[in-house]
């Protein structure tokens, strides 16, 4: 066996400890089920030393795919009383107990990377997964693009950036009266100052109850859900995933005509997320037609989506210089910046990896390498935390986190494949 570093060994041990047999949990306790984009990152990490296990992670994720193509953001494989809201609150009817919303579609992009590492194994796995990826992406294009072609979320949790300020406007228009009593479980695992507030939580649960009442029917939700926000995370990751599928489809001899059409439409959608007054990509409330007005780490996924933008580079340089550890989840000059609270300030290794890959692909190698090294230093010195304080690097949220370990193995460590 090859010699591996102590950090690589610890990262692999975290993936092993969070493995529940064919899927990983994000971290023991706080998140006891399979999460969609967490699993995609986990697969990327496993791909570094066990490609068969990497494919198993993705196949288990797709075993929860709904008939309409949607891939849920949580699969509740085994009941766990430590998490709220569980399957009984969502009330869904997919092949497995699940939530009724999705998450950023990064899985196909990682599948391409895992395939590159072992094409023979990849060809077999992709023969099964190709139609599944297509159906999921088609679901986004059918149900979740707005007139301009930007991808919209119907619940803040769908974006993966649960309590980002991006959703504040649309959330303020929800009156959560009648949401009833419920018992949060997240604040029993983690310091409440690092988690969303009760104000937000009431609205999260109200939206789940609405979806359930509408039978998670997308047409009904499009009519009745007051929360519909065009999101850079979704739009940029789907655009990237489609580009990766087109490249992979070329190698596998698949017809990629439909994907090319999606790419054109998503490029127009991405352009519609440009907020000229802010000078940045931004989230747009589809019902109210208003911008969020915050430069977030998702704004910097433009390069990952293959879009060049000089003004975003200027923004990036200013924000990266303002903190000790880039990339904070929102601009530190924004009045709502909160260095410890979840998606309102902290640094996330997964977002850094996507931003770094994008910077590198677009030829901004010096910035990409600086970000990769900084992220590596953060993990090596502060551990495999869920997220970190951008001002002093202190670890926050849950510990022994799957996706932080995966990012270490696949991108941030010296032994990683790097880009």
Using CB under 6 A, which of the segments 34-42, 49-57, 241-249, 366-374 binds ligand GLC?
34-42
35 binds ligand GLC (CB under 6 A): yes
* Chain centroid, CA 274 distance in Å: 20
CB 256 → ligand GLC: shortest distance, Å? Answer: 29
Reference 316, options 273, 277, 366, 243; nearest CA is 366
83 binds ligand GLC (CB under 6 A): no
Identify the active-site residue in 59, 162, 258, 361: 162
Select 40 or 126, whichever has its Cβ closest to ligand GLC: 40
227 binds ligand GLC (CB under 6 A): no
Residues 138-177 that bind ligand GLC (CB under 6 A): 160, 162
37 binds ligand GLC (CB under 6 A): yes
69 sits in the region (left: phi over 0; alpha: psi -120 to 50; else beta) called left
Active site residue 317: no
Select 38 or 331, whichever has its Cβ closest to ligand GLC: 38
Using CB under 6 A, which of the segments 33-41, 42-50, 240-248, 356-364 binds ligand GLC?
33-41
Reference 109, options 353, 359, 384; nearest CA is 353
**Exposure on the CB side of residue 207, measured as CA atoms within 13 A:** 27
**H/E run at residue 23:** none
Residues 38-77 that bind ligand GLC (CB under 6 A): 38
Select 331 or 386, whichever has its Cβ closest to ligand GLC: 386
Q: How far is 232 from 249, CA to CA, in rounded Å?
A: 25
105 binds ligand GLC (CB under 6 A): no
- Which residue's entry shows tokens 């997308």? 218
31 binds ligand GLC (CB under 6 A): yes
Using CB under 6 A, which of the segments 9-17, 32-40, 216-224, 248-256 binds ligand GLC?
32-40
98 neighbors 233 (Cβ within 8 angstroms): no
Q: How far is 128 from 63, CA to CA, in rounded Å?
A: 11
- No. of helices (H) and no. of strands (E), the chain: 16, 10
Active site residue 3: no
26 binds ligand GLC (CB under 6 A): yes
Q: How far is 72 from 407, CA to CA, in rounded Å?
A: 22
Q: How far is 292 from 116, CA to CA, in rounded Å?
A: 38
Residues found near ligand GLC in the complex (CB under 6 A): 26, 31, 35, 37-38, 160, 162
Q: Which residues are catalytic?
A: 162, 386
């Amino acid at each position: 066996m090859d010699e591996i570093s102590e950090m690589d060994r610890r990262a692999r041990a975290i993936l092993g400890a969070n493995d529940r047999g064919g899927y990983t949990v994000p971290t023991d306790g706080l998140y006891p089920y399979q999460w969609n984009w967490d699993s995609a990152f986990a697969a990327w990490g496993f791909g570094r030393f066990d490609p068969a296990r990497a494919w198993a992670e993705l196949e288990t994720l797709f075993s929860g795919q709904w008939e309409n193509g949607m891939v849920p953001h949580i699969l509740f494989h085994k009941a766990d009383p430590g998490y709220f809201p569980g399957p009984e609150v969502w009330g869904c009817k997919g092949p497995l107990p699940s939530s009724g919303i999705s998450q950023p579609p990064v899985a196909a992009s990682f599948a391409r990377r895992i395939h590159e590492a072992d094409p023979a194994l990849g060809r077999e796995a992709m023969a099964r997964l190709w139609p599944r990826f297509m159906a999921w992406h088609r679901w986004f294009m059918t149900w979740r693009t707005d007139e301009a072609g930007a991808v919209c979320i119907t619940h803040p949790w769908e974006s993966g950036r649960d309590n980002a300020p991006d959703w504040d406007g649309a959330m303020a228009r929800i009156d959560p009266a009648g949401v009833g009593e419920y018992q949060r479980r997240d604040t029993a695992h983690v310091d409440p100052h690092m988690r969303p507030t009760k104000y937000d939580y009431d609205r999260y649960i109200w939206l789940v109850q609405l979806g359930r009442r509408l039978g998670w029917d997308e047409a009904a939700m499009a009519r009745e859900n007051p929360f519909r926000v065009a999101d850079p995370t979704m739009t940029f990751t789907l655009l990237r995933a489609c580009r990766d599928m087109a490249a992979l489809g070329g190698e596998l001899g698949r017809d990629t005509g439909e994907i090319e059409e999606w790419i054109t439409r998503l490029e127009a959608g991405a352009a519609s997320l440009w907020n000229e007054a802010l000078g940045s990509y931004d989230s747009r409330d589809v019902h109210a037609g208003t911008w969020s007005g915050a430069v977030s780490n998702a704004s910097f996924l433009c390069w990952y989506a293959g879009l060049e933008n000089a003004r975003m580079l200027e923004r990036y340089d200013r924000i990266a210089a303002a903190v000790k550890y880039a990339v904070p989840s929102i601009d530190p000059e924004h009045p709502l910046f909160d260095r410890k609270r979840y998606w309102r300030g902290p640094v996330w290794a997964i977002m850094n990896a996507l931003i770094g890959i994008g910077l590198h692909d677009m030829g901004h190698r010096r910035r990409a390498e600086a970000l990769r090294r900084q992220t590596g230093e953060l993990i090596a010195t502060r551990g495999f935390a869920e997220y970190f304080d951008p001002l002093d690097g202190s670890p926050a949220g849950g510990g022994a986190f799957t996706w932080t370990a995966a990012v270490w193995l696949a991108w941030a460590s010296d032994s990683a494949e790097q880009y």
